[in-house]
Structure 1
Amino acid sequence: MPRSRTALRSGGVAIRLTLLSTVVLGIAYPLAVWGVAQVALPGPANGSLLRDANGVVVGSAHIGQSFAASKTVSAASAARWFQSRPSAAGTGYDANASSPSNLGPNNPTLTHAIDQAKAAIAKADHVDPATIPADAVTASGSGLDPDISPAYADEQVARVAAARGLSVTAVRNLVAAHTHGRQLGFLGEPTVNVLELNLALTALHD
C-alpha cells in the first residue's frame, strides 16, 4: 500500500478518534454528571445558594461575606448582625482572589492588625480581649471561610440581642440550632455558618 494512502488512512482514524473522544468526554460525560447531580444533589450542584425570605439569592453557603461597618453600613446596623472572620482575599471575600495573608505569626503587620481587631471586638462586644477566639481576628487560608467557631458566635450573642431588642436566650438558642457538629462525628471542629445564622436571625421575633 502506498505511503500516501497509509498516511491518509491514519489521519482519518485520528480525526474520527478525536471527534468520538470530544463527543463522549467533552459532551456526553459532562452532561451525564450534571444530570445526576441535578437529581441527586441539586443544592450543592448549583452552588449551595442561600435565599432570603423573598426568595432573593443573597450568597452561597460556601463563601463568606462581610457584615461589618463600612462606608455604606453604619456601626449601629453592623451591630445587628453576627460578624464573619476576617478575610485576606482581595478586598475581602473575593472568590476571584482567594488567598491567605501569607504573613508569619511574628510579622509586625499581622500582630498589629490582630491587636487592632481585638481592641475593636472587645469594645463592640464588651468582652476581655484575652478571651476573644482566634478565628475572630485571623483570616482563613482561603479568605472565603463562611463559618466561625461556636465560641465566636456565642461571644456576639449579647451584642446582637441588645441591638435587635431580643432576649439573650432567644439568640443563643438560634446559634445552637445553627451549629454544625464535626463531620462524621470526629472530623474537624463544630462550626456556625454566618450567612445562614443571619438569615435565620431576620425571621426571629422575641
Structure 2
Amino acid sequence: MRLPNWLSQHLAAFRAVLVFTVLLGIAYPLLLVGIGLLPGLHHRATGSLLSSGGRDVGSSLIGQSFLDADGEPIPRYFQSRPSAAGDGYDPTASGASNLGPESVEDELADGSESLLTQVCARSLAVGRLEGVSGARPFCTADGVGAVLRVFRRDGLTGPATRVVSVNQTGTPFLATFEGVRVESAVPGEDYSGGVLTPVRGAAPAVPAVPADAVTASGSGLDPHISPAYAALQVPRVARERGASEAAIRGLVADNTAGRSVGFMGASRVNVVRLNLDLDQRFPVG
C-alpha cells in the first residue's frame, strides 16, 4: 500500500535526523575521543596539565597570577601580564576589558579608570618592582593619564579660556597650558564642553617597561610574556633565588617558543612553565 505523501515526507525527515544523530552525535564525538587517546596527543586532549610534587598545579595553556595574599607580586617569581578575566586568569570569565585606544578619560565620580590610566599605573608599579623607570608617553608622574579638557573661545578653535586636568583631583601635572592655569578636576562635574587633549610629556619613545607588562591579552588567559618582559625580570628573580643571572636567562631560553609555524605571531615565554622550573632548579627555603 502506498503511503500518503505527507507521511512519506515525515518518515524521510525522521530517517535523516536519525542518520545525522548517529553520525554527528555519536560516531564523530567518539572518533575525536579516540584520536585524543593516541600516543602524543593524550596530554593535549586532557588539558595540557602541569604537575609538581605529584599533583596538578595548572595548565600550560592558561596563565596564573603570582601574587601574595595582599595582591602584591611575589618577588621570587616571574610575573605574568595583566588579566581582565574575572579576578585574573579565571577560565570561567575569559574576556577582555573592552577598553580601547580612545579610553583616556577617567570617570572620577564612580572611580572607573580609563585604559590609559590603568596602563600608566601598571607601568609605574612594574618600574618600582624591577628598579627601572616606569615613565610612559601620555602618563603623569603619579601614574594617571596626562589628559586635559581645553575650553576654547570659539568652541573647537581660538585661544584657550579654561584648562582642566580631568584625571587628577590633586595638583595638576601641568601648571599652565597655552598661558592658562590648569585646574584639577572635581568629581561629578561635566567637562564635556572642552576639547580632549592628551599630553605626551617627556617620556622616552620606547619605555623601559614593555607593552605586555601593562596590557592584558584578549582572552585574559594568555600564559605567555614577551622575551623583553622576561629579560627585565631576570635580575630580580636571580637575586631572590640566589642564582646567577646567566642561569636564570638559561631557564628563560628553555621556556621560550618561536613564531607559530615559523611565521605567525612572535617569540614568547611561558611564565607558568618557567616558574615551575624555577622552583625545581632554584628552590627557596
TM-score (norm 2): 0.65
Give, in angstroms, the shift of residue 175 of structure 1. 0.5
Give, in angstroms, the shift of residue 70 of structure 1. 3.7
Match of 1:121 among 126, 136, 139: 126
1:102 aligns with 2:102: no
Structure whose residues are more often strand by fraction: 2
Provide the rounded CA distance (Å) in 2 between the counterparts of 1:11 and 1:117: 63
Structure 2 match to 1:45 = 45
Match of 2:211 among 134, 149, 160: 134
Pairing 1:173-184 to 2, within 5 Å after superposition: 173-184=250-261
Residues 210 and 229, structure 2, Cα contact 8 Å, conserved in 1 = yes
Aligned partner letter, 2:50: L
Structure 2 match to 1:65 = 64
Residues 124 and 133, structure 2, Cα contact 8 Å, conserved in 1 = no
Provide the rounded CA distance (Å) in 2 between the counterparts of 1:23 and 1:112: 55
Deviates more, 1:89-98 or 1:173-182: 89-98
Aligned length: 201
Gaps of 5+ in 2: 106-113, 135-206
Provide the rounded CA distance (Å) in 2 between the counterparts of 1:205 and 1:58: 18
Aligned partner letter, 2:48: S
Give, in angstroms, the shift of residue 197 of structure 1. 0.5
Aligned partner letter, 1:168: E
- 1:157-203 CA-to-partner distances (Å, cap 9, x unmatched) read 11111112112111111101111111232221100001010111111
Provide the rounded CA distance (Å) in 1 between the counterparts of 2:211 and 2:274: 20
- 1:60-112 CA-to-partner distances (Å, cap 9, x unmatched) read 111111112343x665xx11111100011222212222222121224232121
Pairing 1:187-206 to 2, within 5 Å after superposition: 187-205=264-282
Provide the rounded CA distance (Å) in 1 between the counterparts of 2:41 and 2:228: 31
- 1:20-42 CA-to-partner distances (Å, cap 9, x unmatched) read 22112100111012101220511
Structure 2 match to 1:87 = 83
* Aligned alpha-carbon RMSD (Å): 2.0
Give, in angstroms, the shift of residue 15 of structure 1. 2.6
Provide the rounded CA distance (Å) in 2 between the counterparts of 1:173 and 1:25: 48
Q: 1:122 to 1:26 in 2, by over 3 A?
A: same
Greater Rg by CA: 2
Q: 1:154 to 1:29 in 2, by over 3 A?
A: same
Aligned partner letter, 1:63: I
Structure 1 match to 2:244 = 167
Deviates more, 1:56-65 or 1:134-143: 56-65
Provide the rounded CA distance (Å) in 2 between the counterparts of 1:117 and 1:70: 19
3-state secondary structure, aligned to 2:37: helix
Provide the rounded CA distance (Å) in 1 between the counterparts of 2:122 and 2:282: 31
3-state secondary structure, aligned to 1:104: coil
Gaps of 5+ in 1: none
Give, in angstroms, the shift of residue 8 of structure 1. 3.7
Aligned partner letter, 1:194: V
Q: Percent identity?
A: 49
Moved over 4 A (4+): none
Q: 1:96 to 1:205 in 2, by over 3 A?
A: closer
3-state secondary structure, aligned to 1:24: helix
Residues 76 and 237, structure 2, Cα contact 8 Å, conserved in 1 = yes
3-state secondary structure, aligned to 2:281: coil
